[in-house]
Amino acid sequence: MKIAFDAKRAYQNSTGLGHYSRTLISSLATNYPENQYFLCAPKLTGKFDITEFGNVTNITPSGIVSKKLKSLWRSNLVKKDLTEKHVDLYHGLSHEIPLGIQATPIRSVVTIHDLIFERYPQQYNPIDVQIYRQKFKYACKNANQIIAISNQTKEDIIGFYKILPEKISVCYQSCNPIFSNEVVIEEKNKIRAQYDLPELFFLYVGSIIERKNLLNICKALHELKGISGAKLVVIGEGDTYKKQVKDYVFENNLSHQVIFLSETEAAKKSEGFQSGSDFPAIYQLSQALIYPSIFEGFGIPVLEALCSKTPVITSNVSCLPETGGDAAYYVDPNSPEQIAEGMLRILHDKKLTEEMKAKGWAHAQNFTPAKCAAQVMEVYLRLR
């Protein structure tokens, strides 16, 4: 088969959608080398290197109009390139397909990661909500098949957009394989020194936005009143909500306990931090990942922690029990008291933490790149 992808995120996004795109494309190209793969990218960057794959080719805008109006090319005019290449199937990796592709012989698949903007529209710009709704709904109604990255997302697609269940396949996502590598002690010591990480710390990884609930983690830390001796290391960026969190930290004398690592000069100057290649060591140095999100499409930091044999404290709601399985310590995300209790259990119950590490590693094997690629390939083959 000739399979094309919307590769904008693969080349331009450093976080979740970018990781999903790069990992899936790489896994498919490696495990199913008999196919030809085309990456439709408005702009090429150094974030994705396809030179190791002999069966992957880039398609970029050509012609005056396409080069000048790259967003129009991606959302519509790319159909001409796909037709010229005799592409059999197009996969929109992040919620979109080209307008009118259903009128061509090309079959289409779209991945829907979440519909959080439908559940929590007040946390988004109203204009963005309207744009997202139009794009996502169009893709769901006109693609031949939909991939949802969790059962929670599948239920939301059915509920919000009234799509028939048989049109939706749940194909879990994977994470970067580097998280499955045990980091040697020398490298861990180097990373600890480089970022001045404390001896005892919990880790938060993710955007600092209201839904991801960093404020309640800080409230849990305040509940402990310093008795644990543990600190909190935060990796992520934010805006208004981040200011709210920092105000709480300052007002409650927690500044010495909460480290916003992404703000430090060491992080800003480090290629390993910016690329994420130092993250496995940071995960493995931590006592646990704390991720009590109110709602997620999948919760990739949870899987990264499980692959790193790092205990996880996460929410008992949304898709997070799917991602965490029997390995995580579950809490009510609205209860700082429960989060604090989980932190204490992790610190003092060594038998529990060892069990969590073993169960986490075992559960993570359900989400290997090869298994996730196989699930997606099954969807493709149904459309052949």
Could you tell me if 339 and 199 lie in one domain?
yes
CATH number at residue 90: 3.40.50.2000
- Checking if the pLDDT of 338 tops 70, the result is yes
Mean of per-residue pLDDT scores for the chain? 95
**Average of pLDDT values for 270-276?**
91
- Checking if the pLDDT of 309 tops 80, the result is yes
With a pLDDT cut of 90, the percent of the chain lying above it is 92
Could you tell me if 354 and 376 lie in one domain?
no
**Contact assessment for residue 176 and residue 280, using Cβ atoms and an 8 Å cutoff:** no
**Average of pLDDT values for 2-19?**
91
Total tally of structural domains belonging to the chain: 2
Could you tell me if 299 and 190 lie in one domain?
yes
Query: Looking at residue 144, what is its pLDDT?
Result: 98
Could you tell me if 333 and 187 lie in one domain?
yes
302 closest CA partner among 258, 360, 262, 349? 360
Q: Where are the beta strands (DSSP E) in 161-213?
A: 168-170, 201-205
Task: For residues 25 and 373, give the distance between their C-alpha atoms in angstroms, rounded to a whole number.
Answer: 8
Strand order in the sheet with 201-205: 258-260, 231-235, 201-205, 288-291, 312-315, 329-331
Task: For residues 351 and 355, give the distance between their C-alpha atoms in angstroms, rounded to a whole number.
Answer: 6
| Domain extent for 264 | 178-366
Could you tell me if 193 and 323 lie in one domain?
yes
**Average of pLDDT values for 276-297?**
96
195 closest CA partner among 257, 261, 276, 258? 261
Q: Render pLDDT for 164-185 as a digit per residue (tens, 0 to 9).
A: 999 999 999 998 889 999 999 9
Could you tell me if 202 and 188 lie in one domain?
yes
**Average of pLDDT values for 221-245?**
90
Give kind and range of the element (H or E) at residue 75.
none
Could you tell me if 214 and 318 lie in one domain?
yes
Amino acid at 196: D
Q: Does the model's pTM come out above 0.95?
A: no
Could you tell me if 159 and 189 lie in one domain?
no
- Checking if the pLDDT of 74 tops 90, the result is yes
**Average of pLDDT values for 192-217?**
96
Could you tell me if 18 and 157 lie in one domain?
yes
**Burial (CB count <10 Å: 0-12, 13-18, 19+), residue 249:** buried
Could you tell me if 163 and 202 lie in one domain?
no
Could you tell me if 150 and 185 lie in one domain?
no
Could you tell me if 152 and 105 lie in one domain?
yes
